[in-house]
Amino acid sequence: MGNTNSSVIPTPTKTSFDDKDEMLELADPLSAMHIAQPLSSDGSLTLGHIASWEASSSTDPKIRLARTIFSQSDIRSVLSSRSARIADQHIFNHVLDFKTGPITNQKSSGRCWLFATTNVIRYGIMKRLKLKDFQLSQSYLFFWDKLNKSNYYLELMIEHAELPIDDRLITHLSGDLISDGGQWDMVVNLIETYGLVPQSAYPESTHSSLSGPLNALLKTKLREHALILRTLADTLRSAHVREETVMATLRAKKEELMKEVYNIMTATLGVPPNPNKRFVWEYIDAEEKVGRWEGSPKDFFEQFATKPFSPVDSFSLINDPRNEYSKLYTVDKLGNIWGGRPILYVNTEIENMKATVVRMIKAGQPVFFGCDVGKFSDRDAGVMDTAFFEYENAFDIKLGLNKADRLQICESAMTHAMVISGVHLDPSGKPVRYKVENSWGETAGKDGYFVMTDAWFEQYVYQVVVPKALAPKDLVAVFESGNKIVLPAWDPMGALA
């Protein structure tokens, strides 16, 4: 049940060639590399390079046409594939049997993971109560997440106060320290601790929908707080104060500083409902009948969001080709609630993830998933398709990175969370495309919905969340084993959707 560090690729040892055969084996791959002398021996870029390249490019009709067109047009609109637009129809032969609404809009914030979570959970609530329109309060979870991330960061600064200020870990943690984004296990932490409320009980505010100004102010204060705590820790330890007293003093000071964070957040977002205090929720169902419910946010979660599948009993499958499959992974120093549930991923083959999505849709369960939404996707058309933009043909290039390459070289990571609510299967039962509910409002895609091709799923989907009851049993066993491999804090799997 212990943590094990991720494996490190060993440094290659120097090789000596003792016979002619080994030299001949090396000669063939080297000759295939077309080794040539550079125009610049010191690596600088010269006008000679430009003249050489231009001499060949200026006579190429394809390049000349590209220069005429692309200097005056957005390459994404010009190079969108007509055949892909025709093929990527918003038609699905397996969809959820109840349609939720309205299409949500996270606006100018990075709360997609909270919108995706609440869009999954509201499905059962709306179906049970026969509601036409309903939203859970994303702002309620946003408030508690931001407050806890602030505390989490300051606790890490206390824990690692002895590290130099320019240590890679301190620099990383002090970067985007209270990101709007998050992961599935983070939202489970929030729901278990604070419950859920309808949006009418804690509605949107200017700064929940426009989080940038609030984040900027909080980051400034929290970085200042971090330096205050580091200085205090150094002063106390230099005076040889007992370690228990040091920690108690630092936490008391942190709590004093956190009050400033709380005051900023309540002023900009409003005071949230107390998780344990009762409130009244009144609603109108599809038959225009008025309903009434009374209870606490934690009661609301227990009564409305735990059946048929509780979020607490769901976990993340990921597809990370860099690392071994059928293993449990976590990311160091990643979280929101201090001492809460860790972020856990079970790494598996992409076909297992696809089969899990199909199984969930057939069981009537919407699917939370994490992906890199900015790659080969068109917001207006609502299409995610690796064949949607004809870059290779237009520029006479080959885009040769595979999924593992993209992760290793920082070309791709999870950037967005959405919900799969349908799938189109071919006659053999294989998925062709997926229906995706986004949180960018009704003007994005087709009335707020996107179509994602199976090829795009393979390349740019990294995570799906599945209830244990619908997951492959061998992967449930991996999750429940607790034998997790710890990835570095800066690993791309630590990216927050």
How far apart (Å, rounded) are the C-alpha atoms in residues 444 and 253?
A: 46
Where are the extended beta strands (E) located within 323-448? Answer: 327-331, 345-347, 367-371, 377-378, 383-384, 416-425, 431-437
Answer yes or no: are the C-beta atoms of 385 and 330 closer than 8 Å.
Answer: no
CB-facing half-sphere around the CA of 248: CA atoms within 13 A: 5
Of all helices (H) and strands (E), which one includes residue 293? Answer: strand 290-295
How far apart (Å, rounded) are the C-alpha atoms in residues 10 and 100?
A: 51
Query: Which residues belong to the active site?
Result: 112, 416, 438
Beta-carbon count within 10 A of 102 CB: 12
Residue 143 makes CB contacts below 8 A (sequence gap 6+) with: 202, 208, 265, 269, 270, 272
Token reading at 395:
């520029």
Beta-carbon count within 10 A of 210 CB: 15
Residue 95 makes CB contacts below 8 A (sequence gap 6+) with: 361, 421, 422, 423, 435
Where are the extended beta strands (E) located within 113-260? Answer: none
At residue 280, the 3 state secondary structure works out as: strand
How far apart (Å, rounded) are the C-alpha atoms in residues 402 and 422?
A: 27
How far apart (Å, rounded) are the C-alpha atoms in residues 365 and 309?
A: 9
Answer yes or no: are the C-beta atoms of 443 and 103 closer than 8 Å.
Answer: no
Tallying the residues shown for the chain, one arrives at 497
